[in-house]
Structure formats: structure tokens, C-alpha cells
Amino acid sequence: MKNLIIILIVSIMNWGCGHNKSFFYQKSRSVKSSIDYIQIKNDSIFDSNQIISLLTINKKDINNFNVKFGHNSPNLNTTSILAESNNAIAAINGGFFDINNGQNTTYFEINNTIINRKKISKKKSMLDILMNGAIVIKYGSEIIIQHAKSEQFYESSKQESAVLISCPLLLIDSKALELPHVSFVDNRHPRTCLCNTKDSTIFITIDGRSMGAEGMSLSEAQSFLLSLGCINAINLDGGGSTTMWIKDKGVVSYPSDKNGERPVSNALLIVNK
């Protein structure tokens, strides 16, 4: 993993840093064999202050772990609690949910059990229109990021250990997908993303809504993810939900919710087999 970390750091430095700009990063020792964590603090990416946390898993070793979703639907729990209760090594927050009732707002299944179906409403929201991507976890922990198929397809398929619909898809085959010009897309917010590169899967949190961390628009996130070598990438719930947690370190991102770490509906976990 050392070479991968060096490549990530050099690519970000070459891409993001100009004259009289600062680039800082801190790299912990490996979270676990084949899993590494970097936090980047930078004032030049998009001419803004950014705090970005990256958790990288080598693809060739991903079968040594269980990648799974933790949830306690319809109750809300923090990413930390969901991680600790599943004895996780690391975690990021997961998909979109209704903060009033704790229900997921998209299709979500685990081990062929449907946790939630998408609610049909007469009036579509912008998130409904953007809801075009899926995280599919195969048995054996292979993570696939793809255009969302129908709920009926996932219900009938027995090849997945978990499926979560999220939005929007950011990259497919190393190409940035076209996004509509709406505030959710164009304004800078904290973001949580997941991407696959040639050699790794990367869990990403981009902090925001503070002087030291401005967050990114989704088009900025696309450009940043391309700089990491991401091939396929998807956006997860962000804003005040954005959280990265690591065992023995706790929350390493900087949640922007006014009450600190926000309770969420589900979280994406890395667990020892």
C-alpha cells in the first residue's frame, strides 16, 4: 500500500498546489494490513481551504475483509455507534434518509432482505431526479459502483450481499457525468464519496461549512476524484452527515452538524472476517 499512498499524495500535490500555497498531509500507520488512511489539509485545491480524508483498501486484499452496511432501521445511530456495534475497523456514513422518521429514502437491501423500498411520490424532488447510482457489494466484498438498475432486478438477483441506491453517480469509466445546475450540485457542501481505482477502493470524506474546510461542489468533487485515479465514483449522503471513523482513532473527519456527529440511517463498514 505504501506505493499507492505515495502516488495519491504526489498526484494531489501536482494537481492542486500552485505558488505560495500550502499542502499538508498526515498519514497514520496502516489502519490494518492493506488499509491506509491519509488526511489532507490544503489551501490551494479550487483556491479554497479543504480537509479531505481518504481510506484506501487494496483491491487484491479486499476479500480479507467484510465490507458491509451497518444499520438499525428505523432508528438513527451515529456512524461511530454503527461501527463499534459491528466491531468495524473503519467506516463512513452511508445513504440518504429522512431525518424525521429515520427511514432510508432509497432502495436498500442486505442479504436478500429488503430494508427499504423507494417511496413513490407524486411530486419528484431534485434528489429523486438525481438518484441514478448504486453501490453493490458482492459476496466476497467486491464493491461495484454502477448505474442503478430497477428494484425488481435487485430483488430477484441473488448475487449481492448488499445494494444501496444513492446519488448522483459522479464518474463512470473515468469520465465525469453531466450534472444539473442546482444548489445541491453547484454549492460547496461536505461530501462523502466512494470510488474504485485500478488498484484500490477509496472511502472519501470532504469536510465543509467551516473556515478551515469549505467543502466542494459536485463538479469540483468530480475533478478531485479524477486526480486520484478514480474510475467509477458515487456520492453518498453529505452535509452534516459526512463522517469518517477509524478504530482506536474515533471520528477523524470534522462533522459540520451543529450537534457534532449526526445520527444516520446506515454506514458503510470495513470489518475483519
Sign of the torsion angle spanned by Cα atoms 73, 74, 75, 76: positive
Residue 14 contacts residue 20 (beta carbons within 8 Å): no
Q: Closest Cα partner for 46 from 81, 18, 69?
A: 18
Q: Which pLDDT tens digit goes with each residue over 84-139?
A: 999 999 999 999 999 888 889 999 999 999 999 987 666 777 788 899 999 999 99
> What pLDDT, on a 0 to 100 scale, did the predictor assign at position 19?
41
Alpha carbon of 4 to those of 39, 66, 86, 201: distances in Å? 15, 22, 28, 11
Q: Strand pairing partners for 72?
A: 75
> What pLDDT, on a 0 to 100 scale, did the predictor assign at position 8?
61
How confident is the prediction for the chain on average, in pLDDT? 90
Domain boundaries, the chain: 60-272
The pTM assigned to this predicted structure is 0.92
Instruction: Give me the percent of the chain exceeding a pLDDT of 90.
Output: 78
Q: Strand pairing partners for 26?
A: 39
